[in-house]
Structure 1
Amino acid sequence: MMSSTFYGSLAVTLVTALAAPAWAEGDVANGEKVFRKCAACHTVEADGPARVGPNLHDVVGRVTGSFEGYAYSEVMTTMGAEGHVWTPEELDKYLENPRQFAPGTKMAFVGLRKPEERADVIAYLISLNPAGAEAAEPAAPEAEAEAEAEAEPAN
């Protein structure tokens, strides 16, 4: 007979797998092609310059409004000062409709309406600096609970 703990664990595993974000399944090669829409304003090379927009080489995991030498809009500077980080989830929301996500942004691009295009571009950006994406991932609930339990003083 299977225990309720097993079924509970199985349910959590299934929900997590089924709820995997679309960007996790993005196509890097297609994302590079879709990124051509962005390349007029953004560079992606390591240590590349800003153009009309900031360099996006390490954007995944970067604090918003923090690319050195780029003059950000007030909304982006404020978001960064408040601790906003470009996680894949946040990039997905922003790329769908930049002006709705961050009213006052300087980005004139209307956005990528197709979820698969956003997923592909995000996968491409992650491929440029995978360490940034790993740093931007939120800790699993189990890991957070374990860290909190370890931090609590023993009675």
Structure 2
Amino acid sequence: MTDISFSPWEMFMNAGPVVRCVMILLALASLLTWTVFFAKSVELVRVRLKLGRAERALEDAGTLDLGEEHTRGAGIAHALVMAAEMERERSQDIPDDREGLKERIVLHLERLEAAEGRRLMRGTGLLATIGATSPFIGLFGTVWGIMTSFTGIAASKATSLAVVAPGIAEALLATAL
């Protein structure tokens, strides 16, 4: 009687080529997901810190001109201040148009805010794709492993646990991944 090891590595090595490819694909998808997760986490923390510093600087500034100086290097905050300043400069020849100026500044700031939101969302489509497809890829590996067990039963014309166990083990490993 041979001693078969059921460690995850041994099950992986003894799995058929299709199930092994499924497991590798799922491991790569997991690695990619964690990479995007950590990169986005670091990016969001950095943006939050920059915005906090810029907000405090703007509160201390008092005027738009001083706000421009205080937010230099603060990313989106500086871009927002510069956009407001640009709209103010463009509208100097219309002195009684305060409401129009406010509306133009708001529209400009909304466009900048939307662009920054799109920039921050980069990479999340990949996460959505992986999240939507991984269960089905894993299920495919599971079904393939169970089919391997059934072909093992048919080939050996026996239904003992020794015949079924390897295929079921690789199917369950694919499910776990």
Instruction: Assess same fold via TM > 0.5.
Output: no
**Which protein is richer in helix relative to its size?**
2
TM-score, with structure 1 as normaliser: 0.28
TM-score (norm 2): 0.26
